[in-house]
Amino acid sequence: MTTDEVLRQVWPVFSAEAREILQSIGRRVLDWEASEPSAEAHEAMQRDAHSLKGMSGSMGLEGFVHLAHAIEDLLVVRRSETCIPRPSAEAILGALDAMETALAASTTPGVAPVEGQAEKLAALRTAHEAPATEVPSPAAEASAPPAAPAGTAAPAAPPESAPSAPAAAPAHAAAPAAPAAAPPTQAEPAPRRPDPATAPETRGEGSIRVPAHTIDQIAGYIEALALGADAADRRAGALLSAGEELQATVMAARAAGPAGRDELLDRLTELARGVARHGAESRRDALRHKLETAAAREDLRQLRMIPISAALEPLRRAVRDAANALGKEVVLRLHGEDLRLDRRIVDAVKDPLVHLVRNAVDHGLEPAEARRAAGKPQAGHIEVRVVPRGHRVAIQVADDGAGLSVERIRRRAVERRLLGAEEAARLAEAEVFRLAFTPGFSTAERVTAISGRGVGLDVVQSAVTRLQGSIEVTSTPGKGTTFELDLPLALSVTLGLLVRVDTERAAIPAVAVERVLRVPHGQMGHVVDRRVATVNGRQLPFVELADVLQHTGPAAPDDGPARTALLLRLGGTPLVVGVDEVLGEREFLVRGLGRRGAAAPLLAGVALLDDGTIVSVLNPAMILGRTEPRAAPRAASARIVVADDSLTSRTAVKTILELAGYTVVSAVDGEDAWRHIARGGVDAVVTDWQMPRLDGLGLVRRLKADPAHRATPIVLVTSLDAPEDRRAGLEAGADGYVVKKDVQSGALLDLVRALLPVRHG
């Protein structure tokens, strides 16, 4: 092997091990901020830093070597401190981050330049040279909680402290660690830290590190084996039947006649018995293989499962950093970290959880004064709880902050033209909360570096949807907010329903299918322009799977008095999905299609069937999301001003437009209409002709004369139906002309639709 090849092979192993070490040191340093580590913990940290130095040296990573060395020195110098001083902690964590980033960004084995290496080294050296801090006495702490919480450098720190230690900042992600000094309201224990006496001082679990690619390959081979077992079973069956046929023929031959044949027939009989025996043995083999592969599959599935703590650990750091940056005190509690999930889900859920806790620190938790005024403990509480639920898992992120303001969300939705005011008022609370997941939606008054740009929640939702999960939020004003993610335990083997749409097949994970139905045609209909089906007396949204798939075959054939359908639900409102046929229930191994699979968001992956063909495995969350009118980000509905001095006519037109989904603003005459138009945000105008003050024609002229509004379509609706009137209206600049008696028949709607540009959600 050439050096290159050796490097290529060794690099992933080095990278994984180095990252484990970086995380291990980081965890221990965070713990050290809160309480004094045991002797074993100190040994472990120094050993880790030392190992890192050695490993990096052998890979030729000079930057890592220098940083690891500086970290090692700093650890030694600070060893006697009960709590590691802030500048030291910051310097070490900063260096660890930089190395982690370098490894993550590395595309070439052996090359991982550390960004800002010089600064990180300088910070480490500065922290090294700072004089040892005094451990604040419990008395001093009790009297001045805002001043020097245990573990930070004294606020009046020597000038050479790292700039990252804000003077007198009370912010601290871990709760103040000296329980004796803590004010009475902060009796909560610090975030989970291993009890030095009992916690294992090992980095991992004695597990073997296997590249994910290898696991995929093994899975592939085993799958092939499974198919082989099926094939063998079929063969066995064939052999058995052949044997039986031979027997039968032989008996017939015997019955038929005379001499010499008998020997032949004896031979044939033996052959037949032999065939039968082979058949039986093959069948036994096949059964054994099936059991073996099932066991292998299960072991493999376990290999894929890792404790969710890997996704929860980064939250401690995220909360700490966010709290520091905002000057808030936050206590983070984690529960259920030992639950094992598919590695891919754990990886994918890291970022969404970080978003959620950052949001909670930033927006959920009130500043200290507000909390005190509300009688809450000064430190905000965030709890992340992992709860198993059968084949699925729920992850709850709860804060005890101010809660979500339903009114603010409603108002913001109207402001951002997601809904009309009346529509917003009519929404149930749960649906209002769901609005918060719209892209770009944020009720934050100001954008902070942490959050507030409104990017977070919709990203969280799409990440969760991609994992075939869902997210819900509940909140009590004044008490707090809880986000709950519902996720599968594993992405691999799924029980699913195989269905047929025209000539194509698709698989849908069974977990999302509540029932298979036959919906009589009489129970299907329309409400406005949405299809519905009545199931058990309840009207539910209906959609054809063919439409969701944008299938371009012929329309669904008439399959008798009822339509076959699936009742899909993943928490939330169910959806009735029409299919041509349900082919049966199968267990699928869902495989991804790699990066190119991202071009097919409807697919959770593909599955290999017994007959060797491949089918799409649909992502039920995507089907539900696509068709649920509220959950998906809605296209802003157009605002139309309707001007008519007759209440009856005005109401009639308003109703027609609102049923079609538009937002309508009423005006009693031309001047009134103009007032609305001038304010802006009007997409179209429908006006009567004869009105006091400013009539329709005048309105048209004024509109078209104003450069700011010239492009707004305006339609004249009037009882005047003479060609010269029509001409006058169009000459004045009207974009359309409808006679009142034609309004009911849809002429107005057609015109409005034609004049308004199509909006995309």
Partner 1 sequence: MSDRDHLPPEERRRVLAERRKALAETPVDQARETWAVVAFRVAGHRHAIPAAHARQFLEAHRLSPLTGTPSWMLGAIQARARVVPVLDLRLLLGHTGSGIADATCVILIEDDEGEGFGIAVDSVEGHLEIPRDALTEVHGGGLVRWWGPDRLGVLEIDRLGLDGGTAERST
Residues that bind partner 1 (CB under 8 A): 2-4, 7, 60, 62, 108-111, 213, 216-217, 219-221, 223-224, 501, 504-506, 548-551, 591, 593-597, 599-600, 602-603, 606, 608, 612-616, 618
C-alpha distance from residue 747 to each of 688, 715, 734 (Å): 15, 11, 16
> Which one, 316 or 591, has the nearer CB to partner 1?
591
Minimum distance from CB of 49 to partner 1 (Å)?
21
Minimum distance from CB of 517 to partner 1 (Å)?
21
Alpha-carbon distance of 661 to 654, in angstroms, equals 11
Minimum distance from CB of 108 to partner 1 (Å)?
6
> Which one, 236 or 508, has the nearer CB to partner 1?
508
Concatenated DSSP letters of 374-406: TT--SSEEEEEEEEEETTEEEEEEEE-SS---H
> Which one, 315 or 617, has the nearer CB to partner 1?
617
Helix (H) or strand (E) run with residue 618 in it: strand 614-618
C-alpha distance from residue 647 to each of 504, 656, 670 (Å): 54, 14, 14
Q: Strand ranges (DSSP E) for 356-492? A: 380-389, 392-399, 470-476, 480-488
- Which residues does residue 577 pair with via DSSP β-bridges, in sequence order? 543, 566
> Which one, 340 or 344, has the nearer CB to partner 1?
344
Which residues have CB under 8 Å from 598's CB, separation 6+? none
Minimum distance from CB of 633 to partner 1 (Å)?
20
Minimum distance from CB of 543 to partner 1 (Å)?
14
CA atoms within 13 A on the CB side of 715: 25
Minimum distance from CB of 618 to partner 1 (Å)?
6
Minimum distance from CB of 550 to partner 1 (Å)?
8
Sheet with 330-335, side-by-side order of all strands: 330-335, 380-389, 392-399, 480-488, 470-476
Minimum distance from CB of 549 to partner 1 (Å)?
5
> Which one, 112 or 306, has the nearer CB to partner 1?
112
> Which one, 225 or 756, has the nearer CB to partner 1?
225
> Which one, 594 or 707, has the nearer CB to partner 1?
594
State the sign of the Cα–Cα–Cα–Cα dihedral 370, 374, 375, 381: negative
Minimum distance from CB of 608 to partner 1 (Å)?
6
Pairing state of beta strands 305-307 and 340-342? antiparallel
Alpha-carbon distance of 465 to 618, in angstroms, equals 12
Q: Of 28, 21, 9, which Cα lies nearest the Cα of 50?
A: 21
The answer to whether 350 touches 309, Cβ cutoff 8 Å, is no
The answer to whether 713 touches 677, Cβ cutoff 8 Å, is no
Which residues have CB under 8 Å from 25's CB, separation 6+? 45, 48, 49, 52, 71, 92, 96
Q: How many CB atoms lie within 10 A of CB 423?
A: 16
Report the alpha-carbon angle 356-362-161, nearest 5: 115
Minimum distance from CB of 506 to partner 1 (Å)?
5
Alpha-carbon distance of 660 to 638, in angstroms, equals 11
> Assign residue 287 a region: left if phi > 0, alpha if psi is -120 to 50, beta otherwise?
alpha
> Which one, 526 or 595, has the nearer CB to partner 1?
595
Helix (H) or strand (E) run with residue 678 in it: helix 670-679
Helix 456-466 and helix 620-627: axis angle, to 10°?
A: 130
Helix (H) or strand (E) run with residue 328 in it: none
> Which one, 106 or 378, has the nearer CB to partner 1?
106
> Which one, 330 or 579, has the nearer CB to partner 1?
579
> Which one, 446 or 595, has the nearer CB to partner 1?
595
Amino acid identity at 265: L
Minimum distance from CB of 226 to partner 1 (Å)?
12
> Which one, 192 or 344, has the nearer CB to partner 1?
344
Minimum distance from CB of 666 to partner 1 (Å)?
44
> Which one, 15 or 126, has the nearer CB to partner 1?
15
Which residues have CB under 8 Å from 734's CB, separation 6+? 700, 714, 715, 716
> Which one, 202 or 552, has the nearer CB to partner 1?
552
Minimum distance from CB of 596 to partner 1 (Å)?
4
Minimum distance from CB of 602 to partner 1 (Å)?
4
The answer to whether 176 touches 145, Cβ cutoff 8 Å, is yes
Amino acid identity at 293: T
> Which one, 325 or 600, has the nearer CB to partner 1?
600
Minimum distance from CB of 348 to partner 1 (Å)?
18
Tokens at 71, concatenated: 């970290």
Helix (H) or strand (E) run with residue 172 in it: none
